[in-house]
Amino acid sequence: MKIRELIKDIETVRVIGDLDAEISSISADSKKVVENGLFICLKGENCDGHEYVKEAVFYGARAILCEKECDTTAIQIIVKNARKVFSKICSNFYGNPEKRLKIVGVCGTNGKTTVTFMIAHVLNSYGFNCGIVGTLGIRYNEVIKNVDLTTPDPTDLFSALKEMADSGITVVIMEVSAHASALFKTDAIDFYLGIFTNFTEDHLDYFKTMENYKNAKLRFFNSSRCKYLIANSDDEVGRQIINNNEKVFSFGLENPADAFAVKIKESKDGESFFINIFDTVAEVKLKIFGKFNVCNALASLEACVILGIPADFAVSSINSFNGVDGRLEKIDGNDFSVFIDYAHTPDGLLKSILAVKKLTDKRLICVFGCGGNRDSIKRKEMGKISANNADFTIITSDNPRFEEPMSIIKSIEDGVIENGGDFVSIEDRALAIEYALKLAKKGDAVLIAGKGCEKYQEILGVKHPFDDREKVNEILGVK
């Protein structure tokens, strides 16, 4: 693609070089630049892409997108903020694939993955050709591509959107993380629908304050890029979205909303309730657990109706939804219950513990840890939550990354000890799971939280194969 086509509708400060030069690829990693590629100079917390211009040119960069004039023979596209135009540059390079798709963005601390899968399940059942972008990868037709980030960087994101559009996908349900919003990753996309699930503590290692974290999410909703919005009326930030925007629909359990649930019954078979959605009443019988999944279902069903699915069909379809791997996933064991869950925030852990407690008359044993090099403030709080709500806590390692595992465990222990909880700490996650399963007696429930369906444990920069579900099945002798 010629540079003049690449920078269409992008405000530049100055271009030094040939606008008719052809660009073969785009990369923000100087080591991944190929011959005739464009290198994006991004400024990060720890490094500045402008310092790697010479390396990028060495690997073949024909042009660079930068914020200041650099000492290089490469063509220079100088802009005020490279990160802000990164998304649009990638959109242009891949032929603006987002314009051929109806895109739904799901944003919130918890519930994003479940909501995206619920919506996709209903849409595909109705005959739509639907794709997913999120924590569990890029998925469409029979294609599954793993991703490192909830919302991929623009190079990967727009490449995937082009592949989807070219393969006949018409609707994409995408998780939009707070990081993606703060870093302008999706700014080139005009979303048909934006969905807000909830706002609770997370990612303070990056955002530093809850206010910064909240504003990153609100940036997605306080824009004109979403034709319609759906927000949680039970959440303070959700109500802020509802009050500050037009074309907003709401869902909730405790406050007035366009979609709400009554007569909620929680059982070992799942959640059942009656939904009132735009004055249509229908009975929902979910196969998944937890009152929070009632909220996820409300948001999903409301989205489906806005997308043109008849309410009765949407409800019938969601009743056959079997859940998402690693999201309060029940594993049949011996004479006790085992649940694998991704809960890795204080709010997420509390909701998962409370959901599982309602499914047993005996003890609840909670196994969890916290990730390293991430929000350390939540560790003690999560220890407190487990101490106050579980009958026994087993503290273990999650993804310690570059931190000392026992240092992380000690922070969690402080929260458990201060609240008088019974616990044991076992650093080795496999041994911790084995201890829990051997400790469990008839009628007990074991909740293994934090990693969900992750298939690795990250230690000192290396992702070692590890799967909570596989470990449970191995110990229980389940094939």
Measured N-to-C along each axis, helices 154-166 and 82-93 cross at an angle, to the nearest 10 degrees, of 20
CA distances for 404 relative to 144, 205, 343, 447, angstroms: 34, 17, 22, 24
Question: Percentage of residues in the chain with pLDDT exceeding 70?
Answer: 99
Helices (H) and strands (E) in the chain, counts: 16, 24
At 403-418, the pLDDT tens digits run 999 999 999 999 999 9
At 44-63, the pLDDT tens digits run 878 999 999 999 999 999 99
Sign of the dihedral defined by the CA atoms of residues 452, 456, 457, 458, in that order: negative
CA nearest 394: which of 458, 465, 455, 444?
444
Please give the helix or strand (H or E) that residue 298 lies within, else none.
Answer: helix 291-306
Structure-block tokens of residue 91: 């959109």
Is residue 326 within 8 A of residue 114, CB to CB? The reply is no
Task: Examine the pLDDT at 199 and tell me if it is beyond 70.
Answer: yes
Enter the DSSP assignment of 222.
S
Kindly indicate the confidence band of residue 268, based on its pLDDT and cuts at 50, 70 and 90: confident
At 414-457, the pLDDT tens digits run 999 999 999 999 999 999 999 999 999 999 999 999 999 999 99
Q: What is the DSSP string of 255-281?
A: S--SEEEEEEEEETTEEEEEEEETTEE
Instruction: Return the pLDDT at 211.
Output: 94
At 292-339, the pLDDT tens digits run 999 999 999 999 999 999 999 999 999 999 999 999 999 976 789 999
Instruction: Specify which residues 66 forms β-bridges with.
Output: 78
- How confident is the prediction for the chain on average, in pLDDT? 95
Task: Examine the pLDDT at 67 and tell me if it is beyond 80.
Answer: yes
Biggest CA pair distance of the chain: 74
Measured N-to-C along each axis, helices 346-357 and 377-389 cross at an angle, to the nearest 10 degrees, of 10
At 114-172, the pLDDT tens digits run 999 999 999 999 999 999 999 999 999 999 999 989 999 999 999 999 999 999 999 99
CA distances for 45 relative to 48, 161, 183, 213, 355, angstroms: 8, 28, 12, 16, 39
At 327-339, the pLDDT tens digits run 999 997 678 999 9
CA distance 136 to 131: 12
Sign of the dihedral defined by the CA atoms of residues 30, 32, 33, 39, in that order: negative
Kindly indicate the confidence band of residue 287, based on its pLDDT and cuts at 50, 70 and 90: very high
In this prediction, residues 217-235 reach a mean pLDDT of 91
Domains detected in the chain: 3-93 (3.40.1390.10), 97-318 (3.40.1190.10), 329-476 (3.90.190.20)
- Confirm whether pTM is higher than 0.95: no
Enter the DSSP assignment of 322.
-
In this prediction, residues 87-104 reach a mean pLDDT of 98
Instruction: Return the pLDDT at 333.
Output: 67
Is residue 87 within 8 A of residue 9, CB to CB? The reply is no
Kindly indicate the confidence band of residue 222, based on its pLDDT and cuts at 50, 70 and 90: confident
In this prediction, residues 355-376 reach a mean pLDDT of 95
Structure-block tokens of residue 468: 């909570």
For 285, list phi and psi in degrees, rounded to 5.
-125, 90
CA nearest 314: which of 299, 304, 324?
304
Is residue 98 within 8 A of residue 189, CB to CB? The reply is yes
Instruction: Return the pLDDT at 479.
Output: 64
